Amino acid sequence: MHILRKHIEEIISLTDDEFDFILSHFEQVKKRKHQYILQEGEVANKEYWIIRGCLKSYFFDEKGKEHIVQFGMENWWITDYESFVKQTSSKIYIDCIEDSQLLYITYENREKLTAEMHKMERFWAKKSKYGRIALQNRILSLLKNSSKERYELLLEQHPTLFQRVPKKLIAAYLGVSRETLSRLNS
């Protein structure tokens, strides 16, 4: 079974024809480590699904400090959702932390596919709900947890991230300094 089909069928069931129709809306692309898939100021016209690899979305504050919005690994979706949904200029960058193999769907194809196919509207609606829950939990964690607790929570939820992502990026995700992270990590 195609790995994208396996991923979608975790939420909705599909016939062979339905999956072929869905897949015809996607394109495949390979990117090398450090290559961008989105830069600040561009309109995010694609949503990516990660077959293999690791990515980060991030921005710089006025002082030039990097903040990580999201990481992405196998089976995760990644884009700048504000830019993608509203078709406005992106405030963030997305690039590859590792060589990556990706499937993407354009904004137009996604609109077309969800309008034509209730099942895919339902699939992405569910994905969006889960994304919202994850973000809400990150907010609760930023409000109530100490750096140490946030670090331990991330380690618990995504242990493989710590093997694949440089420490300074973990720090930029947690909103702590590299030095604080070293202490937490020891």
Q: Is 132 exposed, middle or buried (0-12, 13-18, 19+ CB in 10 A)?
A: exposed
Residues 94-123, one symbol each (x = binds a copy of itself by CB under 8 A, - = not), give --------------------xx--x--xx-
The answer to the question of residue 59 lying near a copy of itself (CB under 8 A) is yes
Q: Is 99 exposed, middle or buried (0-12, 13-18, 19+ CB in 10 A)?
A: middle
The answer to the question of residue 87 lying near a copy of itself (CB under 8 A) is no
What's the CA gap between 50 and 111, in Å, rounded? 20
Give the CA angle between residues 109, 54, 156 to the nearest 5°: 115
Stretch that binds a copy of itself, among 20-28, 30-38, 94-102, 142-150 (CB under 8 A): 142-150
What's the CA gap between 156 and 28, in Å, rounded? 32
Compute the least distance from the CB of residue 172 to a copy of itself, in Å.
9
Closest to a copy of itself by CB, 31 vs 184, is 184
Closest to a copy of itself by CB, 32 vs 91, is 91
What's the CA gap between 110 and 85, in Å, rounded? 11
The answer to the question of residue 125 lying near a copy of itself (CB under 8 A) is yes
Question: Which residues are CB-neighbours of 177 under 8 A, at least 6 positions away?
Answer: 171
Q: Enumerate binding residues for a copy of itself (CB under 8 A).
A: 59, 61-62, 65, 67, 69, 81-82, 85-86, 91, 114-115, 118, 121-122, 124-125, 128-133, 135-140, 142-144, 175
